[in-house]
Amino acid sequence: MTAMNETFKKAQLGIIKFLEEYSPLALALFLILNVAPIGRTAYGTLTTLFCIIPGIAIALLSPKIIFKNPILWLTLLFVAYFSLQDIRGELPIKGWVLKDASLMAVKITAPLIIFSLIRPQRRFFPWAIIAILLSASARCIYSLITFYAEAPFPAARFGGMGHPVGCSHLTGLMAVLAGAFFLQRSQKIDWKHWIALASLPVTMLTAFYTHSRSTFLALLFMTALTAVGIRGRIKKTLLLWAAVTLSVMLYLLSMYTLPQRTEPISTIKSAPNRVYDIRSEGVLSSGENQKLSAWARIDIWKDHFSRMDSPVKWVIGNGLGRNAFLKEVSPEAARWYCTDDEKGYLLMTHSGYIWSLYFGGIIGFILLAALLTTAGLQALLCCIKTSYTIPLAMLMFGSIWMLADGTSLLVNYGNIYLSFWIPIGLSAGVKRGMMGEG
């Protein structure tokens, strides 16, 4: 019996060791699948195979990895609370509601567990990051060329990888990853650094073409933060700023030099009343429409807060539900909402923070604040003690991006998962030992 226990224990440790070394590849595969032009079914199957199953295996083989990590158990608490809100929003409760809420919780937390094992000294870590950046850069270049042939992006919001908002956070996150990876490794600049530096203008320029204000702010703030946080690396910091400056100059130059159409570009089909998504008169019209877009968010936020009309809603929120549609909204906000002829107006908070407050109340907002604060402090402490800046840079990007974007933090693998949950998972991995540079 003792021999069998020893054999089982060795096998258990061997599997855990393998998954620890595999963890950077899981992140690479996850992000590459997000930029790959594949179908929804194939995407779901591959993410389950490469990310969800390994995460569940770690949770079963070594539960202490989760419960000894404050970020991971706060994540579990956050997801559990909003899963209950999801159920509450669908009263009376039906079997499919419980099933969907449970699956959602597993899909969110399982990949985070495997991502929390990532360390910069893992064997495959640099290769995984390079694979991600090369894939993202190739997709950006291809999408820019094909999109410009149909709707020139100086006038149109670039959406060559889907909706412009989704494209902005994806390409912005890749630019953050490139800059942070370039800075966090050793002072000597090798070929991996040059690949990261070369991918930065490509991904950042693509993010700029989406005309997303939060992405502009997040990218520039991230660059300043990571550059200031690097000690004694003047050459690398100057090279990073040169790449950022090149991106900004190319963007501004192209806005006034590339040929542009003058006829209107069609609106998003799912939101025909959102006139601010039309780009028709070049740079000037784009700027004016961006002002309208900013006012749209203010009208939407006012409309949401007007529905917080009882102490109960302020404490525990309005509940989620699968079909968050409203029959009536304020006249100011009506023109900005996505609509459905039968269901009405689709609730879209355009802010991850307001989402947590509106649907989860003060309790939900406190859980979000606790999760971000804990993750931020861990990532900051790691950045101070080492030069591993990737978790902090990506977390700051996601935190700023969520100020004016994001419709739900409880999603499978959409916009928010990349810019919010992945940085949370990486921050969870910096606690033990405050890793070196690798």
Using one digit for the tens of pLDDT, what is the confidence trace for 349-362?
778 898 888 888 89
Mean pLDDT of 307-319: 82
Return d(Cα 364, Cα 359) in angstroms, integer.
8
Higher pLDDT, 220 or 50: 50
Which residue type occupies 38?
A: I
367: containing domain: 12-261+349-428
Q: What is the pLDDT of residue 366?
A: 94
Of 99-113, 120-134, 218-232, 253-267, give the range with the top mean pLDDT: 120-134
**Res. 75: pLDDT tops 80:** yes
Mean pLDDT in residue range 218-226: 72
**How many of the other CB atoms lie within 10 Å of CB of 29?**
20
Highest mean pLDDT (candidates 188-197, 353-362, 364-373):
364-373
**Mean of the per-residue pLDDT values of the chain:** 75
pTM for this one? 0.82
More confident call, 46 vs 165: 46
252 pLDDT higher than 50: yes
Range in 26-35, 153-162, 258-267 the model is least confident about: 258-267
Residue 81 lies in a domain: yes
Inform me whether the pLDDT recorded for 257 exceeds 50.
yes
β-strand 325-326 against 344-346: which pairing, if any?
antiparallel
Phi and psi angles of residue 432, each rounded to the nearest 5 degrees, phi first: -75, 110
Q: Which of 421, 17, 392, 25 is nearest to 229 (CA)?
A: 392
Position with higher pLDDT, 158 vs 220: 220
Residue, of 96 and 335, whose pLDDT is higher: 335
Is 323 a member of any domain?
no
Question: What pLDDT is stored for residue 415 in this prediction?
Answer: 64
Burial 389-408 (b: 16+ CB within 10 A, else e): bbbbbbbbbbbbbbbbbbbb
Handedness of CA 99, 102, 103, 104 (dihedral sign): positive
pLDDT interval class at 329 (50, 70, 90) = low
For residue 330, the model assigns a pLDDT of 60
Could you tell me which residues are beta bridge partners of residue 326? 345
The answer to whether position 276 is within a domain reads no
d(CA 365, CA 342): 32
Residues 346, 266: Cα–Cα separation, whole Å = 21
Write the pLDDT tens digit of every residue in 426-438. 998 886 544 444 3
CB atoms within 10 A of CB 187: 11
Instruction: Note the Cα 148 to chain centre separation in Å.
Output: 25
Q: Give me the sheet containing 344-346, strands edge to edge.
A: 325-326, 344-346, 339-340
User: 262 pLDDT exceeds 70?
Assistant: no
Compute the C-alpha angle 150/156/161, nearest 5°.
Answer: 70
pLDDT band, very low/low/confident/very high, at 424 (cuts 50, 70, 90): very high
Residue 272 lies in a domain: no
Taking 90 as the threshold, does the pLDDT of residue 370 lie above it?
yes
| The pair of three-digit structure tokens given for residue 195, joined into one six-digit string | 């690949």
Give the pLDDT of residue 169. 79
Does residue 92 have a cis bond before it (omega within 30 degrees)? yes
How many other C-beta atoms are found inside a 10 Å radius of the C-beta of residue 167?
25
Q: 289 in a domain, yes or no?
A: no
The phi, psi pair for 203, rounded to 5°, reads: -70, -40
Q: What is the pLDDT of residue 76?
A: 87
Total domains in the chain come to 1
Q: Is residue 166 part of a domain?
A: yes
**What's the pLDDT band for 281 if we cut at 50, 70, 90?**
very low
Residue 165 lies in a domain: yes
